[in-house]
A = this chain, B = another copy of it.
């Protein structure tokens, strides 16, 4: 049974960690270790600690960057750190970010945060248990949250 880390934030406006954990548990037997940090810039080290101190084989890092220009920069810094943490540990950290301004209203924001968290949880399940299924989906225009775009047509 694999150990999966889940880390989210108190800044986000929806409980993304809970949605992700629910979706994993419906699809796979796994030990899940959860952490919550203040904001997205605290995610990289939290994810790295889950890998190195708690033995997680993969981690989900979930957050909701705000809509201000400064929030976009924070998201960029967080993403850079999440990639760096992966390179330092040779372990995948699946970043699940929903930008507050991707949604037209609070209703859609909740839908999107829930849906994207769940669809990326399914990616985690596939990467752990059926990696060959990922290869079958190569180049098929998958999206998480909103509808898939599909492959380009000639």
Q: How many copies does the complex hold?
A: 5
Q: How large is the interface on A (under 10, 10 to 19, 20 to 34, 35 or more residues)?
A: 35 or more
Query: In the complex, what distance in Å separates the CA atom of A114 from the CA atom of B113?
Result: 32
Tell me if A45 and B138 are in contact (CB < 8 A).
no
In the bound assembly, the distance between CA atoms of A154 and B42 in angstroms comes to 27
What 0/1 readout, one digit per residue, does chain A (10-21) give for beta carbons within 8 Å of chain B? 111111111000
Min C-beta distance of A128 to chain B, whole Å: 13
Q: Is B49 a contact of A90 with CB atoms below 8 Å?
A: yes
Contact A92 B152 (CB under 8 A): no
Closest to A143 in B: B11
> Measured between C-beta atoms, what is the minimum distance from A26 to chain B in Å?
19
Contact A15 B138 (CB under 8 A): yes
Our pick among B42, B84, B134 for the contact of A84 (Cβ within 8 Å) is: B84
Within the assembled complex, what's the spacing in Å between the Cα atoms of A154 and B150?
A: 29
The verdict on A144 contacting chain B, using a C-beta distance below 8 Å, is: yes
- Rounded to whole Å, the gap between the CB of A85 and the closest CB of chain B is 6
Quick one: closest B residue to A139, CB to CB? B15
